[in-house]
Amino acid sequence: MSKPFIFFDLGQTLVDESDFINHLDQRFLELLNGFGAKIDQRSYRAVRDSVIRDRRIGHGGLSAMITEICSLLLSPGHGKIISERLEPQILQARRDLFRFHDATRVVLRDLADKGHELGLIANQSEDIADLLKSSGVGEYFKVIVISSLVRMKKPDPRIFHLALGKAGYEAAACIMVGDRLDTDICPANRVGMKTIRTTNSLFRLQNPMSECENPTFTVSTLSEIPGVLERIR
């Protein structure tokens, strides 16, 4: 029996964004207070977490989160202004602070050694290619599908079908590993993949809202994945 093909998400799944998030939180909080929000760090994080938990950004990412938090704390129009102020800082912080989890290379090497072919399906800007190349991590992947390059984003099922076509596997023979129930787990389940949810992410705050958001398995760290694969088989 052939080994399942394993697709991974990138942000907060394979990439450790903790330093980036802490940096962005601080810059964002400074701007919010500069425009009159009068909020401390603890209260800001409570608002941020409620936005994630309550699905107030829909399928959106960082930009949607910034806009939504601004709408809750400031008068209309500030979201666009603050987003524009933060944009260059976000781009620089991605370059400076994105790094792979310590377990990423170990797990990918272990899976490759065991005969698994690997792929990426990620909602990311084009600059993520630089990190994949400079780190050497990109060499582990047979298939790399990045939203900004293919002009479609998760949870659009077309991006999953595109990746499956590139891999040459049927969905039932594949596993999707990701941290978001709405953009990783649900759409992968719907196209017929098995799924593994990682919870070392801000999106651990999400709770399943429909049957399709229930993962096949849940792990707290990447290092658990090889053992889980044996159970899925």
58-104: pLDDT as tens digits: 999 999 999 999 999 999 999 999 999 999 999 999 999 999 999 99
Q: What is the pTM of this model?
A: 0.96
Percentage of residues in the chain having pLDDT higher than 90 = 97
DSSP line for the chain = -PPPEEEE--BTTTEE-HHHHHHHHHHHHHHHHHTT----HHHHHHHHHHHHHTTTTTT--HHHHHHHHHHHHS-TTHHHHHHHHHHHHHHHHHHHH-EE-HHHHHHHHHHHHTT--EEEEE---TTHHHHHHHHSGGGG-SEEEEHHHHT--TT-HHHHHHHHHHHT--GGGEEEEES-IIIIIHHHHHHT-EEEEE-SSGGGG----SGGG--SEEESSGGGHHHHHHHH-
Q: Where are the chain's structural domains?
A: 5-16+99-232, 18-97
pLDDT of amino acid 99: 96
What would the CATH number be for the domain defined by 5-16+99-232?
3.40.50.1000
30-46: pLDDT as tens digits: 999 999 999 999 999 99
Q: Compute the average pLDDT of residues 154-175.
A: 98
pLDDT of amino acid 231: 83
